[in-house]
Amino acid sequence: MKTSTKDQHILVVGATGNLGFQICRQLAFSKKDVTALVRTSSLAERVADLQQLGVKLVTGDLKDATSINRALDGITTVISTATTVRSAKEGDSINSVDMTGQLALVEQAEARGVNRFIYVSFPPMQGDFPLQNAKRKVENRLIAGKMDFVILQPTYFMEAWLSPALGFDFPNAKATIYGDGTRQISWISIGDVAEFATAAITDETLKNKTIQLGGPEALSPHNVVQIFEKTLGKKFEVAHVPLEAIQQQHHSAPDDLTKTFTGLMLNYAAGSTVDMRKVNNDIPIRLSSVADYARRVSGK
């Protein structure tokens, strides 16, 4: 069952990130009333892209309560994808943005009478690391609060973890794999998570639920390499980062970001699978496969 979006005014926090931008794009194409929170330090090109889509802009920062309060004027739905992990600026930290900032956003949204809060997190993972601790505290605050909420927990984004930035250098047919590469992961596309986030605005079956999200199939990193080799017609050079080396880096991490990245790498090595049959039955989205992604990034 869906509710009407006629009188809904949506604020996307994290709008200049890859996921937040995709959400804004989908909402704009659907003619929804959407406002993007941007920072004075946001990438000018991304801000310009938002403007070109017709998205309204409001300047603010999760670390600045006054700006957030102003951004919430007239807002009925908040979608928050903000994180400092991939786009840290001066003064940012997991504590100040992903925990304190997000918790303050929830508090202010609730106080301002926001109807629904959609929060993008990730599934519970093994071990203790700062980003996971922040995510769980925000989730618990939403669950204990008065607003309707939807907590989305996608697994590993293929556009991030299967990209040169994190060692999957497909343009040069090289891949760095964390661990032995045999454990399966339900790699998911950022675009698909954006579709679930936009569906969560009106879909009453998702109200007050925590939903794990994955792609259409579970594949090991070795399976992924084989798909790319077939798509590109090239043999990959594969290097492994041993589990013991990641554990040592995690144990001796000098800061929260390193602790978080190594925590995520350890869970990548352990595998992360999600059975999407029920969720996809309730919300029939065509999920992008790793093969789809390989064809897209290779232009084939």
The answer to whether residues 142 and 174 touch, using CB atoms and an 8 Å cutoff, is no
The Cα-based distances of 284 to 26, 111, 293, 295, 296 in angstroms read: 16, 34, 19, 23, 22
The answer to whether residues 149 and 211 touch, using CB atoms and an 8 Å cutoff, is no
pLDDT at residue number 101: 96
**Could you state, in order of their start, the residue ranges of all structural domains in the chain?**
10-154+189-213+273-287
pLDDT at residue number 288: 96
The answer to whether residues 253 and 266 touch, using CB atoms and an 8 Å cutoff, is no
Parallel, antiparallel, or unpaired for β 10-13 and 77-80?
Answer: parallel
pLDDT at residue number 6: 59
The answer to whether residues 111 and 147 touch, using CB atoms and an 8 Å cutoff, is no
pLDDT at residue number 273: 96
Closest CA to 154 of 120, 116, 129, 191: 120
**DSSP character at residue 287:** P
CA 107-65-194 angle, 5° bins: 65
Low-confidence ranges of the chain (pLDDT < 50): none
Amino acid at 211: I
Helix (H, G, I), strand (E, B) or coil at 116: strand
What whole-number distance in Å separates Cα of residue 296 and Cα of residue 192? Answer: 15
Q: Which residue is listed with tokens 């925990």?
A: 99
pLDDT at residue number 300: 73
pLDDT at residue number 282: 85
Helix (H, G, I), strand (E, B) or coil at 227: helix
- In the chain, DSSP finds a helix count (H) and a strand count (E) of 12, 10
pLDDT at residue number 90: 65
How many other C-beta atoms can be found within 10 angstroms of the C-beta atom of residue 86? 11
The Cα-based distances of 121 to 59, 81, 140 in angstroms read: 24, 8, 12
What whole-number distance in Å separates Cα of residue 208 and Cα of residue 211? Answer: 10
Burial class (CB in 10 A: 0-12, 13-18, 19+), 136: middle
What whole-number distance in Å separates Cα of residue 135 and Cα of residue 124? Answer: 9
> Rounded to 10 degrees, what is the CA torsion of 195, 201, 203, 204?
150
pLDDT at residue number 43: 82
**Structurally, what CATH architecture does the domain formed by 10-154+189-213+273-287 represent?**
3-Layer(aba) Sandwich (3.40)
Furthest-apart CA atoms within the chain: distance in Å = 56
What whole-number distance in Å separates Cα of residue 72 and Cα of residue 161? Answer: 33
For residue range 240-267, what is the model confidence (pLDDT) as tens digits? Answer: 999 999 999 999 999 999 999 999 999 9
Cross-strand partners of 203: 2
